[in-house]
Amino acid sequence: MITYTRSTSEEELKQVLQLQQRNLPVSVSEADQKTEGFVTVVHDLELLKAMHDTCPHILAKDGDTVVGYALSMHPDFGERIEVLKPMFEQINTILNSPQPMPQQLRHDFVVMGQICVDKAYRKQGIFRNLYTTMRVQLLPPFSAIITEVDAKNERSLNAHYAVGFEELGNYTAGGQEWVLLSLK
């Protein structure tokens, strides 16, 4: 039986890193990237612990085994992960725009830093339940969950739209096109 919880131990964080490694583009065939998706950001244990200490991550577990995760990233970590700096720049541009601010985007947001479900556990509703748990646990105190998805990762984009994410905008950084999304 799959249970959903917030991260509580270093062992869980190590399992998150192992699952992440199995789903990076270097570990997933091009064909599987199109049909199964992939993750982009590589974390280390120190950073994952620091993020956890600020806002524990959401986990899907089969017994003691982590089979899925949604990483919680407080905006204070915006400068700590190089590949995510452009996303935070885009968010700040929106926040500081003279245009009326989207209802779902205020200064009290949290970033979903990465979501992943083990291949053997996909198509069982885990992705949706990770976000449902995240929404229940984090909204409030935060007003929105913001994330970005590589525009080439159609599986992930469609899954995010299906759980209620709305597009805030697109931008290009590092030679990749990104879609900025918000869930309120």
pLDDT tens per residue, range 14-51 = 999 999 999 999 999 999 988 888 888 899 999 999 99
| Structural domains in the chain, sorted by start | 2-183 (3.40.630.30)
Percent of the chain having pLDDT more than 70? 95
Q: Give the per-residue pLDDT at 101.
A: 55
Mean pLDDT value across residues 91-119: 78
Whole-structure pTM value: 0.89
Q: Give the per-residue pLDDT at 102.
A: 54
* 88: CB partners within 8 A, 6+ apart: 75, 78, 79
Q: What is the pLDDT of residues 106-133, one digit of tens each?
A: 568 899 989 999 999 999 999 999 999 9
pLDDT tier at 92 (50, 70, 90 boundaries)?
confident
Pairing of strands 109-117, 144-150: parallel
- The residue with greater pLDDT, 35 or 98, is 35
